[in-house]
Amino acid sequence: MSTTVIVVVDGLGIGAMPDAGRLRPGDRQADTLGHILDHCPGLRLPAFTALGLGLVHPHPRLADDAPLPVAAGRAALGYPGADTFAGHQTMMGADFSRVTVAPLGEHLDEVTAVLRAAGHTVEPLGGGPLLVDGVALVHDNLEADPGINWNVSARLDDLPFEDITAIARTVRTPAPVARVIAVGGHADGPLPGFVRPGDGGTVGLDTPACGFYRNGGLEVVHLGAPLDHTRQLPQLAARAGLPVTLVGKAADILRCGTAVRRPAVPTADVLRHTLRAATGDGLVVANVQESDLAGHQQETDRYGDVLRQVDEGLAELIALLDSPGDRLILTADHGNDPTIGHAYHTREYVPVLIHRPEFRVPQLLPDADSLADVGATAALALGLDPSRLGNGTALYPAPGTTQEPTAR
């Protein structure tokens, strides 16, 4: 038995993908990691550097070598846009390449039809949102890139959360987007008063302005695009009898019935749960969310502080996962450059840094076409067949099938 730990630093991009400027031309300059390092001159990341971050993202404060036996590369996202849910589902083996990026306004007729067929009243509001049963809003999500996700939002004073979720499930049926998100909370007034235009022709609820986030009692359910969870890494590992632990946001958005779930937002809690789970065998998938939150809030210093915390946790994980067959995989799901001038995710390559204790020298990997290749590589480390995943190819052959790679 061995342990494979995947740490996803949410939003840690390392440079714009070729199509990053399709929606916003300025995003061609996105470089989350580089801009944070430039902005935070005192930031030192020794564990990240030891894992080979400087091999895949040259920077004056990142050594261009790795003292550890790592395989280091970068991955394209492998799905449209830049989204946490799609990123994690892809990483675990789903094929999200055909998920559509579409504003709700392009599908109003289909959504209205299924809601009315389900017995709901539907009133179109100006510009796109639909008012359902006089209390629930179906609208574009204004906190993600335009057309990535739709929301169904209502005040819990007006509608029980299970009814909000039921409306969202109805909307999910014709929705071509990655997520339909059911959101219930306590607002400062009727929700139509907080509707505003977004980018790219979207119109939706200004969720922060309405008070949902500050008034307490927020309830959220993410309804993803249809996919076969049995062909994703957590369930593949569980069927093989391996323990599975999901930490942080990974506990909220990945599906595995037998997994131990440790939801958490504070980085210290995510790292504590991850370290505790890493003392056993099996698969651990952890998401550090505060990096993404700092990116959304355009707080570069805060983002640097989160990376400093993560670096300290990585040093402990490197020391712990030191047996042949153990793997520590450090990656991300998209970019979120806090210096780029907006609060959206940025479409960037992400690092793929893999600590392999039984090897002797670092290896520089070619670019991966998709985050799915990360999950396939983790499956290989666990002794599982990557071809049983829905998507993805291991980044290097199984141990013992080729000669040990040489350094760059």
Enter the DSSP assignment of 172.
H
Distance of CA 120 to the CA centre of its chain: 33
DSSP one-letter string for 5-23: EEEEETT---SB-TTTTTT
Is the distance from CB of 317 to CB of 354 less than 8 angstroms?
Answer: no
**Token duo for residue 222:** 């993410």
What pLDDT sits at residue 401?
A: 52
**Residue-wise pLDDT tens digits, 370-385:** 999 999 999 999 999 9
What pLDDT sits at residue 400?
A: 58
Residue 38: which residues within 8 A CB-CB, separation 6 or more? none
Q: d(Cα 64, Cα 66) in Å, to the nearest integer?
A: 7
Dihedrals phi, psi of 149, to nearest 5 degrees: -135, 150
Rg (CA), the chain: 21
Dihedrals phi, psi of 407, to nearest 5 degrees: -70, 160
Q: What is the pTM of this model?
A: 0.85
**Token duo for residue 231:** 């062909």
- Max CA pair span of the chain: 66
Sequential pLDDT tens for the chain (408 residues): 799 999 999 999 999 999 999 888 999 999 999 999 999 999 999 999 999 999 999 999 999 888 999 999 999 999 988 989 899 999 999 988 877 889 999 999 999 999 999 999 999 997 689 999 999 999 999 988 888 899 999 999 999 999 999 999 999 999 999 889 999 999 999 999 999 999 888 999 999 899 998 898 999 998 988 888 899 999 999 999 999 999 999 999 999 999 999 999 999 999 999 999 999 999 999 999 999 999 999 999 999 999 999 999 999 999 999 999 999 999 999 999 999 999 889 999 999 999 999 998 899 999 999 999 999 999 999 999 999 999 999 999 866 554 444 333
Is the distance from CB of 399 to CB of 358 less than 8 angstroms?
Answer: yes
What pLDDT sits at residue 364?
A: 95
What pLDDT sits at residue 361?
A: 87
Q: d(Cα 23, Cα 199) in Å, to the nearest integer?
A: 9
Is the distance from CB of 246 to CB of 262 less than 8 angstroms?
Answer: yes
Q: Where are the beta strands (DSSP E) in 41-163?
A: 70-75, 122-124, 130-132, 136-140, 149-155
**Residue 383 φ/ψ region, left for φ over 0, alpha for ψ in the -120 to 50 degree band, beta for the rest:** left
